[in-house]
Amino acid sequence: MAKERNEKEQKHIFSLLVENQPGVLARIAGLFSARGYNIESLCVAPTVDPEISRVSLVTTGDEFILEQIKKQLNKLINVVKVYDYTQIPYVQRDLALVKVRAKPEHRAEILRIVDIFRSRVVDVSPDYYTVEITGDEDKIEAFLKLLRPMGIKEIARTGPVALARELV
Amino acid sequence: MFPIKLTGAQIFFKVLEEEKVEVIFGYPGGAVLDIYDELCRHENIRHVLVRHEQSAVHAADGYARASGKVGVCLVTSGPGATNTVTGIATAYMDSIPIVVFTGQVPTRLVGSDAFQEVDIVGITRSCTKHNYLVTDVNDLARIVKEAFYIARTGRPGPVLVDIPKDVQQATARYEPIKEIKLKSYKPVYKPNVKQLQRAISLIKKSKRPLILSGGGVVHARAHEELREFAEKIKSPVTSTLMGLGSFPPDSPLWLGMVGMHGTYAANMATGECDLLIGIGVRFDDRVTGKVDTFAPNAKIIHIDIDPTSIQKNVPVTVPVVGDCKITLSMLNKMLNEDGIDEKELEQIRKDWLFQIEEWKKSKPLKYEQKEGEIKPQYVIETLYELTKGDAIIATEVGQNQMWAAQFYKFHRPGQLLTSGGLGCMGYGFPAAIGAKVACPEKTVVDIAGDGSIQMNIQELATAIQNNIHVKVIILNNSYLGMVRQWQELFYERRYACTYLSYAPDFVKLADAYGAVGLRVEKPEEVRPVLEKALSIPNVVFVDVRIPPEENVYPMVPAGSPITEMILV
């Protein structure tokens, strides 16, 4: 089995429903660190049921590791459900807040880019615009690439959150 | 009845009584005083006072292994709690159902680095099946009840419950918990019938099947079902260290233990079989050797209650998630209804069974008996005879453990208590104490080394104070024997720090504690001294002087295929 490992590393998004209790996130993070799995990003927030939170988790690994991750997550007592979004259609969004230097000669250009990407300026200060953008990873990367020459001061990103298109 | 208000400590015992707890292994301290104070009012619950919290956990573990019930352990906060970690990890690796209760500083002090405060829930998160910090007395009954439920169901394991002092003192209305509602925890016991059908079709076609039985069969007490299954499909059986006792050792189908110190026949059969039926095993590296060359010709059917065990270390042809007892009895039933042609099966398996017999005869477990030397293997064989194979055997870890596994024959589940997964020295003596509490009518013997016995030797006081008459046989070679063996074979005999040039006089030490100490220095003394040790109604230490450089064979060097063994 070891032979097959590492050949097909794939990026993978899991969506977990977990009990909204202290320590649950530590159990999930601890599982990943103890077993040497990778967490690329992780997002947690309560669902419509306040007792349940949804965790969107991006990880990488070959199919054996991903199978283990799924089973190990299922084994945690506080994890109610593990959805694997690889085989099913799903929508995925990142949100980024970007603070970009707004020199007078760049302001029009920034606003044009913001407009093209259907993002918006959420805060303005004498020297900076703070811009909010949502979309998939590629869109955000493209956006950041265009803004970079103006001088990006700070970025806060959520990492992907995801939902299946149909109820699963 | 109108529910009355009780203190946390009282509620704690209410639930313990509902769970029919008979014994607690523990050690008091400031943060559990309220529970200890309440304990005095519950004469139906025996408390065994140990001398170190690690031993309380090992004893609860030994009690659980021997009885099949949940072991219970009670300690205080801080150092009391941290001392339990090794015991908890031992139970976790071997899937033993225990519940560990730790006292905690009052909730208002939690997080303030208070005296004797540690975050034991954080510390034990990765070595418990689940753990809890109780922050409200109204949750206490439910949490204690859940702890027992989680510990004993599915793949068993240790659960820790951390109870702050103010929660023990606070009062709440108490109503017995009737039903346990856990949103996400629903262990699968009944296997998928389609998978069983696939398994049966592979079994019928197989020319060279091999059953590998593990701790899961022992925990599920599925030994009867396993014997029926093996005889029905005419397959030889080997087992892991944890699986010893799951199959009758006098059956012609029995091959002995597999793995690093497994028998020649078992290891060769693993290499040659065309179908491996793993039942309640997890394919640990000490079993598989070099994993890429493990059972190279075999399709694998893997039956286990824990889905994470399946496809973890070896690729599996037919995965079956289910309880070993239920799965085996379903397989037996399906095979009966199917009507297997026994004659045909015998014909197909004839060459294989002949080959197995050849391996067994040509290279059985053996040792060289030299004039004037007390061979440890002989000591264990003699012990087997004198106890008529009926004793409960606990072991420490290392050579003593492997000789016990090889040369004592285990007839029933729960007869061998050994730290298989964690390999925890100091386990055997307290585990033997726990087992003797569970089965007072049985002879309980700890087979120890001079190194490991000293890791929990203070439990002599526990055994004496509580009249728990276990026997300890110290195979004394003045070395950390297994490590020395590795140094001899793989580190050119550089015995770095494995020579125990000083050890206490174990006979005098036993005497000082009020136990009986005996010494064996000549081979002819082995039998009479062991006889005496078994007949004395007291705790007995037997110090047996074995040759310092005796090795455990067969041995598969770590990372080699298990068919490449160093033999005697």
Please write the tens of the pLDDT for every residue from B203-248: 999 999 999 999 999 999 999 999 999 999 999 999 999 999 999 9
Mean pLDDT, residues B436-453 taken together: 98
A38, amino acid identity: N
Chain B, nearest residue to A30 by Cα: B126
Please write the tens of the pLDDT for every residue from B318-365: 999 999 999 999 999 999 998 788 888 989 999 999 999 999 999 999
Size of interface A-B (CB pairs under 8 A): 45
Alpha helices in B206-248 (DSSP H): 215-219, 223-233
Query: Which residue, A39, A60, A84, sits at the end of a domain?
Result: A84
Q: Is residue A49 part of a domain?
A: yes
Q: ipTM > 0.95?
A: no
Please write the tens of the pLDDT for every residue from A29-86: 999 999 999 999 999 999 999 999 999 999 999 988 999 999 999 999 999 999 998 8
The second-level CATH assignment, the architecture, of B193-362 is 3-Layer(aba) Sandwich (3.40)
Cα–Cα distance measured from residue B122 to residue B132, given in angstroms and rounded to the nearest whole number: 10
Distance from CA of A78 to the nearest CA of B (A): 7
Same domain, A99 and A153: yes
Q: How much is the pLDDT for B3? A: 67
Q: How much is the pLDDT for A2? A: 41
Same domain, A98 and A79: no
Same domain, A98 and A160: yes
Query: Which residue, A32, A53, A84, sits at the end of a domain?
Result: A84
Please write the tens of the pLDDT for every residue from B407-432: 999 999 999 999 999 999 999 999 99
Please write the tens of the pLDDT for every residue from B86-141: 999 999 999 999 999 999 999 999 999 999 999 999 999 999 999 999 999 999 99
Name chain B contacts of A27, Cβ cutoff 8 Å.
125
Distance from CA of A18 to the nearest CA of B (A): 9
Query: Residue A42's beta-bridge partner residues?
Result: A57
Inter-chain CB proximity B307 and A80 less than 8 Å: no
What is the distance, to the nearest Å, from the Cα of residue B155 to the centroid of all Cα atoms in its chain?
Answer: 14
Placement of tokens 């829930």 in the chain: B121
Residue B254, token pair as written in the block:
């029995």
Name chain A contacts of B315, Cβ cutoff 8 Å.
1
Cα–Cα distance measured from residue B140 to residue B125, given in angstroms and rounded to the nearest whole number: 19
Same domain, A20 and A80: yes
Name chain A contacts of B129, Cβ cutoff 8 Å.
77
Say how many residues make up chain B: 568
B306, B311, B314 member nearest A67 (Cβ): B311
Q: How much is the pLDDT for B436? A: 98
Same domain, A68 and A128: no
Cα–Cα distance measured from residue B529 to residue A148, given in angstroms and rounded to the nearest whole number: 85
Query: Which run of H or of E encompasses B47?
Result: strand B46-49
- Whether B185 and B213 have beta carbons less than 8 Å apart is answered as no
**Which domain CATH number covers A109?**
3.30.70.1150
Indicate if the pLDDT at residue A3 is higher than 70: no
Q: Is residue A2 part of a domain?
A: no
Please write the tens of the pLDDT for every residue from B48-67: 999 999 999 999 999 999 99
The yes-or-no answer to whether B193-362 and B376-545 have a common fold is yes
CATH number for the domain whose boundaries are B376-545: 3.40.50.970
Inter-chain CB proximity A81 and B184 less than 8 Å: yes
The residues of B carrying an active-site annotation are 53, 115-116, 165, 482
Residues near B352 by beta carbon (within 8 Å), at least 6 away in sequence? B207, B208, B209, B236
Residues near B211 by beta carbon (within 8 Å), at least 6 away in sequence? B226, B229, B230, B235, B236, B237, B238, B277, B279
Please write the tens of the pLDDT for every residue from B195-205: 999 999 999 99
B506, amino acid identity: F
Neighbouring C-beta atoms of residue B359, cutoff 10 Å? 19
Mean pLDDT, residues A119-147 taken together: 96
Same domain, A80 and A95: no
Chain B, nearest residue to A65 by Cα: B312
B156, amino acid identity: P
Q: How many CA atoms lie within 13 A of B518 on its CB side?
A: 21
CATH 3.40.50.970 for domain B5-173, yes or no, is yes
Percent of chain B with pLDDT over 90: 97
Query: Residue B197's beta-bridge partner residues?
Result: none
Residue A5, token pair as written in the block:
């490992």
Same domain, A64 and A35: yes
SS3 state at B490: helix
Placement of tokens 């000591």 in the chain: B379
Name chain B contacts of A67, Cβ cutoff 8 Å.
311
Say how many residues make up chain A: 168
Supply the range of the domain harboring residue A44. Answer: 10-84
Same domain, A128 and A99: yes
Inter-chain CB proximity A19 and B130 less than 8 Å: no
Same domain, A124 and A66: no
Neighbouring C-beta atoms of residue B531, cutoff 10 Å? 12
Same domain, A77 and A138: no
Q: Give the phi and the psi of residue B192 in degrees, each rounded to 5.
A: -75, 120
Q: Is residue A5 part of a domain?
A: no
Cα–Cα distance measured from residue B534 to residue B357, given in angstroms and rounded to the nearest whole number: 36
Q: How much is the pLDDT for A167? A: 83
Cα–Cα distance measured from residue B278 to residue B300, given in angstroms and rounded to the nearest whole number: 7
Inter-chain CB proximity A26 and B122 less than 8 Å: yes
SS3 state at B98: strand
Would you tell me which residues 166-185 of chain B have a C-beta closer than 8 angstroms to some C-beta of chain A?
A: 182-185
Which of A55, A77, A79, A83 to mutate to probe the B interface, most B CBs <10 Å?
A77
Query: How is chain B split into domains, by residue range?
Result: 5-173, 193-362, 376-545
Chain B, nearest residue to A20 by Cα: B183
Q: Give the phi and the psi of residue B48 in degrees, each rounded to 5.
A: -105, 110
Q: How much is the pLDDT for B1? A: 54
Strands B254-257 and B71-75: unpaired
Cα–Cα distance measured from residue B76 to residue B32, given in angstroms and rounded to the nearest whole number: 5
Q: How much is the pLDDT for A128? A: 97
Query: Which residue, A57, A84, A111, sits at the end of a domain?
Result: A84
Query: Which run of H or of E encompasses A139?
Result: helix A137-147
Q: Is residue A117 part of a domain?
A: yes
Inter-chain CB proximity A77 and B185 less than 8 Å: yes
Placement of tokens 């093996």 in the chain: B230
Q: How much is the pLDDT for A1? A: 41
Cβ of B123 under 8 Å from any chain A Cβ? no
Q: Is residue A27 part of a domain?
A: yes
Indicate if the pLDDT at residue A5 is higher than 50: no
Q: Give the phi and the psi of residue B285 in degrees, each rounded to 5.
A: -65, -25
Number of domains in chain A: 2
Cα–Cα distance measured from residue A19 to residue A25, given in angstroms and rounded to the nearest whole number: 10
- Whether A69 and A59 have beta carbons less than 8 Å apart is answered as yes
Inter-chain CB proximity A71 and B307 less than 8 Å: yes
Cα–Cα distance measured from residue B420 to residue B214, given in angstroms and rounded to the nearest whole number: 11
- Whether B174 and B13 have beta carbons less than 8 Å apart is answered as no
Mean pLDDT, residues B148-171 taken together: 98
Inter-chain CB proximity A26 and B292 less than 8 Å: no
Name chain B contacts of A78, Cβ cutoff 8 Å.
184
Chain B, nearest residue to A23 by Cα: B122
Name chain A contacts of B314, Cβ cutoff 8 Å.
1
Mean pLDDT, residues B420-448 taken together: 98
Give B230-234's long-range contacts (Cβ < 8 A, gap of 24+). B232/B332, B232/B335, B232/B336, B232/B340, B233/B203, B233/B209, B233/B335, B233/B340, B233/B345, B234/B342, B234/B345, B234/B346, B234/B349, B234/B353
